[in-house]
Amino acid sequence: MSVRPLLLLDVDGPLNPFRSPLAGLRGYTSHRMRPAIWMSRRSPDSRSAQRGLRVRLHPAHGARLLALPYELVWATTWMHEANTMIAPHIGLPADLPVIEWPELFARDPDGLSWKTRPLLDWAAGRPFAWVDDMINSRDRAWIAARHPAPALLLRIHPRRGLRPRDFSALADWAARLSRGGR
């Protein structure tokens, strides 16, 4: 029996197109949330803390993600709060695995995303697709040179979020992988 590839999923950018002025017109619903990492950067008495962070989520994304042949993993600063705050709004299970980052937003000496090294350690040689808005060309080259299994790095623009073509790219890559391709 073959092991399904990992789908390492970020929240802000892919699921929450936080830079989109038109997300509501594309089926996204708006929610006010108070994730710990966001709250840690605000005074508890501030107006923004009282209002909460606006998060836009598409209710159909959970079903579309679950239909893909991957093992879903949260790869986000929301960490375990993604299971309690994000998952219920998009129809994902509340017990998905979570990558716990050793240090959030750490500067990398090689210009990699702060997630790249811990993410590669977490994947432990398994094939994976990483969906994030912060992926850069250095991340791609570094992972290609160091990861023994196939990897798809899918950068999502934070104005657009996940789109049908992104779901198609993920499905196509997994299909090629199951046929023995890269």
The length of the chain in residues reads: 182
DSSP structure class, residue 83: I
Report CA-CA distances (Å) from 93 to 6, 30, 107, 156: 16, 20, 32, 23
Architecture of domain 6-19+58-178: 3-Layer(aba) Sandwich (3.40)
Chain segment 64-110, per-residue pLDDT in tens:
999 999 999 999 999 999 999 999 999 999 999 999 999 999 999 99
* pTM listed for this prediction: 0.93
Under-70 pLDDT residues of the chain = 1-2, 181-182
The domain locations on the chain are 6-19+58-178
Decide: 6 and 128 in contact? Cβ < 8 Å.
yes
